[in-house]
Structure 1
Amino acid sequence: MKHLILSTTALALSAGLAFADTVRMGTEGAYPPYNFINDAGEIDGFEREVGDELCSRAELTCEWVKNDWDSIIPNLVSGNYDTIIAGMSITDERDEVIDFTQDYYPPTASAYVAGSEDVDLEGGIVAAQTATIQAGFIAESGATLVEFATPEETIAAVRNGEADAVFADRDFLVPLVEESGGDLMFVGDPVPLGGGVGMGLRESDTELREKFDAAITSMKEDGTLNELLVKWFGDEVATY
């Protein structure tokens, strides 16, 4: 799951949903298999399926809105959409600005991927996506951090030699390593970060959060959420 470092402390004082006819679901659309744009130009992935099912169970009409990662929280609090469902980990820092549902993806680890096994993770150059706690972790680790706006650019930095390794969510990296034909590999130990992935909402939207919380609970209880986790992330994924 993606981990955003907050770049704003501004709160929208009057941006509450007040239950509009349509709930707008904000996502990045660039972090497969969590969320991505498919060949038809539509938002797709694990979170699209989860979000559609949650809206159905909560009896809400929902539409999807694409937003870049680095402004996804500011545009929620300013009222451009009503939820964030974008691989966002629940953190105390983030919870000071927005509210969260319970998690719909269990806590997992971040990991390093490189082009060879002998990279220097402690003193080398490590790529991470801008405004993530992976970037914050590397900045404090002693390694040289290089930040990029998109996850694709972090991988490209390793491939072209601009960085020795990339540090990101392990679930995001697994298919890239598997599809690389041996050009990419996991190195070092996994690093647990974050507290599971939840939906972000404005702090004023208590009723909406309660509706989504109830829907998430029902998906956990009847096994639907586990089925979607396995479908999109494989049999080794953590489940409820």
Structure 2
Amino acid sequence: MMKLTFATLALTLSAGIAMAQTVRMGTEGAYPPYNFLNDAGEVDGFERELGDELCKRAELTCEWVTNEWDSIIPNLVSGNYDTIIAGMSITAERDEVIDFTQGYTQPDPSVFLAMSSDVDLKGGVVAAQTGTIQASHIASMGATVVEFATPEETIAAVKNGEADAVLADKAFLMPIAEAEADLSIVGDDVYLGGGVGMGLRESDGELRGKFDAAIQSMKDDGSLNALLAKWLPDSGQF
């Protein structure tokens, strides 16, 4: 009887491991502090730590996949990974193509970074990463927008005179302004979008529900606020 009990237990545990759902977490790996590649070439940052905890709470096995920003939504839809967790703001336009979890950040301010404090933000040339809410905002305010595939290219455009300023998340641009004497934050904070959430295919409602519940549990026990304080100290708390 004892042998049978242990054998049954072993089979049950093996079946549980085999049935664990593997979820591919798609991110950019180039937008610190949200996500970046560390010296070991591994995904790191706020969203790596958050995503691992969400997967643990949802009892999912997660694998991390990097993808360039400008094709991150099409490659989710086509099945190259199962989620987007890449500093993506929740917008009505994106919500027409994919679904979002509830937000895991409050709306984060965007700011302008320039080499001169008297730069013409409304009539000048402003850089932004392709497909971002910042690029759309620049066009709506009447300035000329120049779009680049990566965040690093937007900064380079300001340095080489291709753009008068760059508009991006404050959490991304502030450390750059603090580290480089010739660059500074100019103008007022700009609030865009409805916070950052995980993107999923519209057909994956069950998976979205699991992550929604995990995010809510982190809000309820204060662990999400602790992560925000660690990685995004200037952002709002829940």
Would you call these one fold, judging by a TM-score over 0.5? Answer: yes
C-alpha distance in 1, partners of 2:178/2:40?
Answer: 25
Residue-by-residue CA offset, 1:50-102 (whole Å, 9 max, x unaligned): 00000000000010000010010101111110000000011111111111100
Q: Distance in 2 between matches of 1:144 and 1:82?
A: 35
Aligned residue for 1:58? 58
TM-score by length of 1: 0.89
What is aligned with 2:203? 204
Post-superposition CA distance 1:98-130 (Å, at most 9, x none): 111000011122111111111011111111111
Structure 2 match to 1:149: 149
**Matched residue SS, 1:194:** coil
Structure 2: distance between partners of 1:139 and 1:161: 19
**Is residue 106–residue 235 contact of structure 2 (8 Å, CA) maintained in 1?**
no
**Corresponding residue of 2:12:** none
Alpha-carbon displacement from aligned partner over 1:182-202 (angstroms, at most 9, x marks no partner): 311111111111000000001
Instruction: Single out whichever of 95-104 and 19-28 deviates more from structure 2.
Output: 19-28
Across the aligned residues of Structure 1 and Structure 2, the Cα RMSD in angstroms comes to: 1.2
Match of 1:172 in 2: 172
Q: After TM superposition, what 4+ stretches of structure 1 lie above 3 angstroms from structure 2?
A: none
* Other-structure match for 2:72: 72
Counterpart CA distance in 1 for 2:100 and 2:144 is 32
Match of 1:108 in 2: 108
2: CA distance, partners of 1:177 / 1:229: 21
Per-residue CA deviation, residues 128-152 of structure 1 (Å, 9 max, x unaligned), is: 1111121111122221211111011
For the residues of structure 1 that align with 2:76 and 2:201, how far apart are their CA atoms?
7
Q: Which residue of 1 aligns with 2:35?
A: 35
**Residue 208 of structure 1: how far off its partner (Å):** 0.6
CA distance, structure 2, for counterparts of residue 40 and residue 188 of structure 1: 37
- CA drift of 1:209 comes to 0.7
Secondary structure of 1:110's partner? Answer: strand
Partner of 2:215: 216
SS of corresponding position for 1:173: helix
Larger radius of gyration: 2
TM-score computed with the length of structure 2 as normaliser: 0.90
Which is richer in helix?
Answer: 2
**Following superposition of structure 1 onto structure 2, how do residues 87-106 of structure 1 map, counting pairs within 5 Å?**
87-106=87-106
Residue 82 of structure 1 is matched in structure 2 by 82
Name the counterpart of 1:137: 137
Larger relative CO (CA 8 A, sep 6+): 1 or 2?
1
**Deviation larger for 52-61 or 20-29:** 20-29
Provide the secondary structure at the position in 1 that maps to 2:55: helix
Deviation at 1:154? 0.5
Q: What are structure 1's unaligned runs of at least 5 residues?
A: 1-18
Are the counterparts in 1 of residues 114 and 166 from structure 2 also a CA contact under 8 Å?
yes
> Which runs of 5 or more residues in structure 2 are unaligned?
1-18
| CA shift digits 1:203-236 (9 cap, x unpaired) | 11111111101100111111111111111122x3
Post-superposition CA distance 1:129-181 (Å, at most 9, x none): 1111211111222212111110111011111211111111111111111111x
Separation of aligned partners in 1, 2:106 and 2:77: 25
